Structures are given as structure tokens and as C-alpha cells.
Amino acid sequence: MINDSDYLIFVDSYNNGFNAGTEVWWENNIWLNNSNNFNLDIENGTGPYDELTSAEKALVKEFPVQAWEIKQNIDPAFAMAQIKFGDYPPNYGLNDKKDAFRHAFFNALNTRDVTPRGISPYPPPVGWPPYTSAQIVTMFANAHESEVPV
């Protein structure tokens, strides 16, 4: 689950930047579109927020803490796939065993690490239902596969 100090450092870095006093980070599309700030794309670790599908963008806004937690698992998934498979021919990690392993490992990390909503120190807004970690991870995975990025 989320390490509160890590998330607070992330939020402080947002608040101490040129964004201080504007809006919360998950509502600032200009800040989100800078790939140095936030990205969820496991296939393109440097791709901007703007390359996310509209469904993914909606989930980032509804589940900002969980989106941040998912983002933290991108690099470990790539690293473990590299350790397990190295430069595996013929596709070198694109639609091959390495790619399948990376996705499975990424989803396993997310299921382990994502904070359930409504059962955490970050309660949902009034009237929003609670979700388990697995439900949130599944929503993000389905959103990623649901459409061509807009």
C-alpha cells in the first residue's frame, strides 16, 4: 500500500512548483501532460498524460491516489522483466513472453500496492462507493485496453 511520506513528498513537489495555490494535481491537465510529472503508460514510460485514453484520464481524476500508486509500479515491472528475460529475441519485449510477464507482474504489483477506496486514510467523497484494490486495478487495466488514446 501507499507509503504516506512518499505521497506527501509527491504532493509537496507539486505544491512547491509553479502550481502552488492553483488546483489539486489530478485536475491540472497542463501539469499532468508533462511526462516528467505523471504517466501511467507501461508501454511508453515517457509518454505524456495526453496519450492516455479518455477512460484512463477519468480514472486518474476519480482515483488520484491509486493512480499515483500504479505509476510507482511501472519501473519495477520493466526492471523485473529485464532481469528475468534480458534482451529476449525476436521481439525484445514487444508482444512476446517478456511483454506478457511484464504486464502480469505489473498487475500483480498493482493488486498488492493499490489502496482500496473507502478503506484507507483517503476516504471517497460523500456518496461514492468503496472499491477494493482488485476492482480499481481492473478498472485501470480495462481503461488502458478500451480505446485508442485521444
What is the CB neighbour count within 10 angstroms for residue 11? 15
> Does position 1 have pLDDT exceeding 50, yes or no?
no
Beta bridge partners of 131: 117
pLDDT tens digit string along 55-69? 888 898 888 888 888
| Model pTM above 0.85 | no
Q: Which residues have a Cβ under 8 Å from the Cβ of 78 and sit 6 or more positions away?
A: 42, 45, 102
**Number of CB atoms found within 10 A of residue 17's CB:** 12
If we measure between CA atoms, which residue out of 72, 63, 77, 70 comes closest to residue 114?
A: 70
